[in-house]
Structure 1
Amino acid sequence: MTSAALPADLVKPLLERATAGGAPSVEVFAPATGAKIADLPQSSTDDIERAFSTARTAQAQWAARPVRERVAVLRKLHDIVLGEQETILDIVQTETGKARAHAFDEVGDVAVNARYYASVASKLLSTRRPRGVLPVLTRVDVRQRPKGVVAVISPWNYPLALAVSDALPALVAGNAVVARPDNQTALTALWAIDAAERAGLPRGLWQAVLGRGRDIGGEVIARADYVDYTGSSATGRTIAQQAGERLIGYSLELGGKNPLLVLADADVPRAAKIAIRACFASAGQLCESMERIYVHDSVYDRFVAEFTAHTKNIELGGALDYSAGMGSLTFQRQLDTVRQHVDDAVAKGATVLAGGKHRPDLGPYFYEPTVLADVTAEMTVYREETFGPVVSVYRVASDDAAVAAANDTAYGLNASVWTKDAARGRAVAARINAGSVNVNEGFIAAWGSSDAPSGGLGISGTGRRHGPEGLLKYLDTQTIAQQRVLPIAPLPGMSEELWAKTMTLYFGVMKTLRQK
């Protein structure tokens, strides 16, 4: 089945879930075919105000409910996403143009994160009893309090994973969520909200407002208690400034120019095969994907030959099934960037080893997976993020040279190291400036390990998703200290000098006893 317009009986009730309609609608089209998907309602300032007002009322009631009831919603949502995956896969593919296998990565991501946060929420949200300043006499309780209403501003490239997996820990922590999904992929977010409500989430607790970021982003941030954003580094800076002016917290996962290192002792056939997914998943429209490959001189020719052969064998297509190895780009602007980067590189002396062509015969935005060699520093593709199916290969003489080249970037999101020596791989990985590094994998090993944090260094962002950090960022801590029997002050008749000497003795005893 070819990606085309989605059934009206699916689209219409989803659109009714948006807090939108006060602004003129926009048309949304399927990237793989150009077929119209929907007239998408847009949110006005009044719509946004209404969404936050409703969310605040719902949040107060939700936060008062036992954690076990919140956890039950995540467990049920886990089952709905897996059980109804054919529907959501059709929506994701239609809105993004990606291959079905890459859309399924998103289904898996939501299921894993729903299960994980359902399993750890009770522990992470429990009140902690640290030691007081005077043991026994000082009781201290550290409570976790939800932020309130969290804004989740998610992109178009992974519309299910990035809209939902960031919302789930916010919700189970007791917050409400007002989502601002990209217009192109709004139906995916609306389907997720519908699924969550069918799983038991109170209506109004998780809402979506629709509109372009430049039109409504500021209005959303102006009302939020915390902002979670995934997107470009340029927009991330703007959001950080807006959040900073209000002194609210934020988490930003931004761009990447991710390196893959093939060391001299790598399993070349395995590395060449798995690097295909690391580079070309979702047509390279993935912040975690690899755009630079550094290969040791001793295995360079063999790796490049095998990697190029695999690249040429990737089947392109937009069918709503598992037949295609790579789908379409999502926008004309992405196609333009890819063509500009490749054309600029070729004009300045780069060699196209595979791909390098727009494929309008398949659909408006299809572009062949492309491998470039002989890329040099004056070429745009050398340093700038392409965010498309283009990867450059470089020959290096040593591990040190590979690490230095990998770190020669302002980005620091993800990296990959290939070697038969696991200890060597971990040691090289530790030297790379990236928030996550995968040894003998591209990105899924780190990304899919839900108990481990994920995020960027440098201009790739700040804050973390996944792991305990992915939930704790949505909370404020409150310390309640109760002093019992004796005050923390001189006793009646005791001078301040004697008090100071007594406390000095006490501090020394506590150190000797190794007490905190």
Structure 2
Amino acid sequence: MAATAIPIDTLPSINPATGQVLAHIEKTPPEMVARTVTLARAAQREWATVPIRERCRRLRKLRECLMASRHEIADTVVAESGKPRVEALFADVFVALDSAEYWSKNVRAALRPERVPHHNIAAKAKSGHLVYEPLGVIGIISSWNYPLAIPMSQIIPAVAAGNAVICKTSDFTPRCGTLLEKLFRDAAFPRDLVAVIQGGAEVGQALIEALPDKVLFTGSGTTGRRVAEACGRNLIPTILELGGKDAMIVLDDADLRTASSAAVWGSYTNCGQVCLSVERLFVEQAVSQRFVELCVEKTRKLRLGPGSDPATDVGPLIRPEHVRRMSDLIDDAVSRGAQVLSGGHPRPDIGPNFFEPTVVADVHSSMRLFQEETFGPVLAIQTVKDAEEAIRRANDSPFALAASVWTADSKKGQALARRLRAGAVMVNDVISFFGIAEAPHGGCGASGWGRTHGRAGLLELVQMKYIDADRLPRREKPWWYRYGGELERAADAFLQFEFSRGVGAKLRNARNALKTLFRDHRL
């Protein structure tokens, strides 16, 4: 393919299946980002006064716009990310639609003021409650692998809570970014409330320097550290979703046909370019050989091709450097004793970014395949003696995003799930909790911090305020000035009355404790 000159002020929209440049999308000049944030602040001040009922109405309109344009959206996601169209519909479009549907029905209850009961007698004359207020302007720096699902599932609860959003979409998926902004415009959200900025790292840096009230970042650990450092200098709070190295544990009582199908899909969906992919598979020794055979058998049946072909099961990687990295990871594993049982090679005969779905056995922790986030179509298996070894090896990773346990005994599976270091653990399923609107998403360690999705994610997008109203507003409080020996003795009596174990001690100190309530403050 002949080289094409790319204007310096645009981003190329590239089809990863062919390498073809589909369009040129205008970049956002970094010097314009601060102005965009200023306009968003003005829009947010008005939006925060809009009743939640009206915000929900706009979310329902957004859902209608999403549904009406779902085919255009799916086609654009396929063209820029390369995934099969069915995955674009099941993942990107579904998650966006469901997020709009869920929050349009539930944000009012989730942000309803909450009464705070007081257990201590000293606070019984007070009435306390919590209210939730918008933070202001939320900055989102999003990823290319789910160019609709990830940003939409963050933007929707943010605006539902009364915030404005500036979203920097990935420079790999600029057309998806323009569609995203258009959806909010078509749904009649206020001008400047939701803005998409386009560009690379320099635009993300400009967004942080414009001082949003919070930053949500999805991407690599290396970039995430830079984001955290830049935000930390200005005390901007963050949510970081930095990827995973998710473990799948298969016990000897698991249904092997179902579990092997899950392993194959969980490793290869979106060509393995999923933070929740199955990247480390631990199988109990008693069933390991049969399980590996099933994984190889099913992997060899998968069809590799462009996402636009309905017959395709696995699409391309996003860029040629990702293909080279898969080869490097496989070569490292083989040099350390691993066996490639299926696949393991680039497929330039299909296109520039294709890599075969690959099954690798005898993998262990010294290999890069078990140390680094793979982000590609590799199913890496290690045989373990028993569940105890599986748990120990699964937890032996700096990443802690998600995991799964496969067993016929649900109670046993849930007990093991509690012992796994991860933000979420599924028993007899993989990945799909990301599409459950109520389920929080996020991890710890090298996987980042904070949560998106669910009420836990919503509460990351608001300021919690405690309001206390005194029921005796005309009465001076016992702990106010002035002090003296008498008050000191009364205070100690109050402590004994309140915290002594025996009833006798409480009664002996009750009279003196009351002196803290009825005294002359001499002011």
TM-score when normalising by structure 2: 0.88
Residues 47 and 209, structure 1, Cα contact 8 Å, conserved in 2 = no
Residues 164 and 189, structure 1, Cα contact 8 Å, conserved in 2 = no
- Classify the secondary structure of the residue corresponding to 2:172: helix
Q: Which residue of 2 aligns with 1:219?
A: 206
Q: Which residue of 2 aligns with 1:91?
A: 76
Write the distance in 2 (CA, Å) between the matches of 1:423 and 1:473: 32
Write the distance in 2 (CA, Å) between the matches of 1:230 and 1:308: 32
Residues 362 and 383, structure 2, Cα contact 8 Å, conserved in 1 = no
Q: Which residue of 1 aligns with 2:412?
A: 424
Write the distance in 2 (CA, Å) between the matches of 1:242 and 1:503: 49
Write the distance in 1 (CA, Å) between the matches of 2:192 and 2:28: 16
Cα distance change on mapping 1:501 and 1:352 into 2, 3 Å: closer
The CA deviation at 1:493 is 10
The CA deviation at 1:200 is 2.6
For 1:201-350, what aligned pairs fall within 5 Å after superposition?
Answer: 201-213=189-201, 215-223=202-210, 224-350=212-338
1:143-177 residue CA offsets vs partner (Å, 9 max, x unmatched)? 21211110010011111111110111111111100
Write the distance in 1 (CA, Å) between the matches of 2:128 and 2:43: 30
The reply on whether 1:447 has 2:441 as its aligned counterpart is: no
Q: Which residue of 2 aligns with 1:500?
A: 491
Letter of the aligned partner of 1:82 in structure 2? M
Structure 1 gaps of 5+ residues are 1-20
Q: Which residue of 2 aligns with 1:464?
A: 451
Q: What is the aligned counterpart of 1:480 among 447, 467, 473?
A: 467
- Classify the secondary structure of the residue corresponding to 1:166: helix
Write the distance in 1 (CA, Å) between the matches of 2:422 and 2:397: 10
- Classify the secondary structure of the residue corresponding to 2:469: strand
Cα distance change on mapping 1:504 and 1:80 into 2, 3 Å: same
Letter of the aligned partner of 1:71 in structure 2? C
The CA deviation at 1:186 is 2.2
1:191-239 residue CA offsets vs partner (Å, 9 max, x unmatched)? 12211222231121000111112x1222111221100011111111221
Residues 31 and 206, structure 2, Cα contact 8 Å, conserved in 1 = no
The CA deviation at 1:314 is 0.7
Write the distance in 2 (CA, Å) between the matches of 1:188 and 1:464: 24
Q: Which is greater in Rg?
A: 2
Letter of the aligned partner of 1:252 in structure 2? L
Write the distance in 1 (CA, Å) between the matches of 2:218 and 2:134: 21
Q: Which residue of 1 aligns with 2:393?
A: 405
Write the distance in 1 (CA, Å) between the matches of 2:500 and 2:437: 43
- Classify the secondary structure of the residue corresponding to 1:54: helix
Cα distance change on mapping 1:510 and 1:74 into 2, 3 Å: farther
Letter of the aligned partner of 1:487 in structure 2? E
The CA deviation at 1:183 is 1.0
Residues 372 and 392, structure 1, Cα contact 8 Å, conserved in 2 = yes
Letter of the aligned partner of 2:382 in structure 1? Y
The CA deviation at 1:491 is 9.2
Residues 137 and 486, structure 1, Cα contact 8 Å, conserved in 2 = no
The CA deviation at 1:77 is 1.9
Letter of the aligned partner of 2:111 in structure 1? L
Residues 146 and 474, structure 1, Cα contact 8 Å, conserved in 2 = yes
The reply on whether 1:115 has 2:115 as its aligned counterpart is: no
The CA deviation at 1:328 is 0.7
Residues 163 and 189, structure 1, Cα contact 8 Å, conserved in 2 = no
316-325 or 330-339: which moved more? 316-325
Write the distance in 1 (CA, Å) between the matches of 2:229 and 2:425: 29
Residues 40 and 183, structure 1, Cα contact 8 Å, conserved in 2 = no
Q: Which residue of 2 aligns with 1:7?
A: none
The reply on whether 1:30 has 2:21 as its aligned counterpart is: no
Write the distance in 2 (CA, Å) between the matches of 1:54 and 1:447: 32
The CA deviation at 1:503 is 4.6
Letter of the aligned partner of 1:312 in structure 2? R
27-36 or 161-170: which moved more? 27-36
Write the distance in 1 (CA, Å) between the matches of 2:395 and 2:31: 46
Write the distance in 2 (CA, Å) between the matches of 1:154 and 1:476: 23
Structure 2 gaps of 5+ residues are 1-6, 507-523
